[in-house]
Structure 1
């Protein structure tokens, strides 16, 4: 086994996989996941809503916005309807670059994420804290003179300093042209989204799992989209971003898509 893989401490990608009903996790991940659920019973619903948001956002970008290139940062463990599967069902020639720096994620990604032969599905071992490296590595598979959808679902919450998180977003979006998009989800403590229960859950997580996590306010979340045109309906609970049917239940996870003018 890769000596970078720790099985003695819970890790976000594996706990998230557990909440989504996957099998790529260890007893320590399940134990921490169950305790977090005890603090915050809707966390599994948040995980599922985040995943469903990814599907709707990628579908819109590929089918309606004509985007053919996706840079998915913080891939996590493969589950159903990954970015390349959603995009390449619509556009088989879509090109997807996944970025993660967790060895277990990369091991599973290389084994499971095979894309359509007409398109490209690549993997980059890089840290979200190093956007210059991400851009340089992605340029091998993506044409950065053409629009790119930069996907950052549930990843900026692991960049604890908000100024640094904004800088990462700015660096990435500066590297892609007009017509590119930014897609972000992020946990919040805001009571309007039912986020109060997140506080105790996050405190427990930061003492018992890795990597540490932070929540952000609506204003902080909005700052990631400075200079971009927000697509309707703007900044909402990710479950309420263009739901496929009816009024979706609110979860404490912001979601938004912005377009670079």
Structure 2
């Protein structure tokens, strides 16, 4: 009898805790930014973004993008967006939903990793094979993004494709390729074309990817800006270009 009472009490406590967590999330006193909560109350957030807030796999990263694009749309309305490392298009879908009027450039092999990019890797990336992240295609990502005309695709090695966008100016760039070589190439291409106040996100900046960290650290020594490390899954490093 005593065990049953204890079990019921424990269940009641759990239900109360779940209710409090749900209430906090709805009110904005949990892990939702207050600016987002207020815009949601004012019905200023699109249905597409509201849906992605529930389905995007990393809530912290979702709000990193949301907060920065809120800033950019207010202070830097010009400039395109770009993603290097698209995979199946989850982040591309989010970026487009957050700022649909900006041109979005998407770079990926859409065939997995290139062997020459894997050769010098260490840590987690040293376990990768060319077939990893190959379960994607340009067409499947186009379908996910509803073949929107404001999105451009570049299939193949970034070093041979980036010149096609060399005249563009960027407000936001997301680099998520897991590997050192294309990360370094992305930084060297995008940074000079990043508008003052623009932002670069570099994903997977943590000790599991030591070579990626090394090339990013080397690059940071060459620019005046300091980077900020975020607490999203696998850690994003954020660079905001000086105005």
TM-score normalized by the length of structure 1: 0.49
Aligned to 1:259: 241
Aligned to 2:165: 138
Matched, 1:79 2:90: yes
SS of the counterpart of 2:90? coil
2:179 is equivalent to residue 158 of structure 1: yes
Conserved in 2, the CA contact under 8 Å of 1:177 and 1:260?
Answer: no
Query: Which one scores higher on RCO, CA 8 angstroms, separation ≥ 6?
Result: 1
Matched residue, 1:100: 108
CA–CA distance in structure 2, aligned partners of residues 79 and 178 of structure 1: 25
Distance 2:138 2:228 in 1: 31
* Matches of 2:85 and 2:175, distance apart in 1: 7
- Whether the 8 Å CA contact 1:98–1:122 is kept in 2: the answer is yes
How far does the alpha carbon of each residue in 1:147-166 deviate from its partner, in whole angstroms, 9 at most, with x for none? 313523322x322x5xx743
Aligned partner of 2:219 in structure 1 is 224
Give the Cα separation in 1 of the matches to 2:106 and 2:238. 20
Taking a change above 3 Å as real, the CA distance of residues 49 and 178 of structure 1, as seen in their structure-2 partners, is closer
Q: CA deviation at 1:253?
A: 0.6
**For the pair shown, which has the larger CA radius of gyration, 1 or 2?**
2
Structural RMSD (CA): 3.5
1:3-22 paired onto structure 2 within 5 Å: none
Report the alpha carbon displacement of residue 125 of structure 1 after superposing the two structures with TM.
Answer: 0.7
Shift of 1:256: 0.5
Runs of 4+ in 1 over 6 A off after TM superposition: none
Match of 1:172 among 190, 199, 211: 190
Measure, in 2, the Cα distance between the counterparts of 1:56 and 1:82.
13
Tell me the distance in 2 between the aligned counterparts of 1:188 and 1:71: 19
Aligned residue in 2 for 1:62: 73
How far apart, CA to CA, are the structure 1 residues paired with 2:194 and 2:205? 30
Contact 1:187 1:216 in 2 (8 A): no
Partner of 2:198: 181
- Give the Cα–Cα distance (whole angstroms) in 2 for the partners of residues 217 and 158 of structure 1: 6
The number of residues matched between the two structures is 164
